[in-house]
Structure 1
């Protein structure tokens, strides 16, 4: 389960976030490319844009559910 106290620095403010347990598998980017990106050195992903509609929110939820490291959280 993602830990809100261990968010990676690149996350934008909002309910969805990636924490430091990310293993850079890119599954979240495959599920929600409008909301997740990989950082510059490819060590972890982060939320670069919070979902702005129901479709994007659903894709972020899919990304969270499919994360093998359980590194995506939702405080919303």
Structure 2
């Protein structure tokens, strides 16, 4: 389970976030590209835009549930 006290610094403010357990597999970026991006050094992903609307929320939830290391959280 993601730890909101261990968020990567690039996350925008909001309920969805990526924590430091991220292994940079890019699954969330592939699943929800409107909301997740990879850091410039490629080591981890982050939330660059909080989901808006049902479609983005569903894809962000899919990314969260698919994360192999449980590095995505939703405090909403």
TM-score bracket, shorter-length normalisation: over 0.9
- Cα deviations by residue, 1:29-53 (Å, 9 ceiling, x for unpaired): 1110000000010010000000011
Determine helix, strand or coil for the equivalent of 1:56: helix
TM-score by length of 2: 0.99
Unaligned runs of 5+ in 1: none
RMSD over aligned Cα, in angstroms? Answer: 0.3
Unaligned runs of 5+ in 2: none
Number of residues paired by the alignment? 76
Which consecutive aligned stretches of 4+ in structure 1 deviate over 4 angstroms post-superposition?
none
Quick one: distance in 1 between partners of 2:30 and 2:64? 12
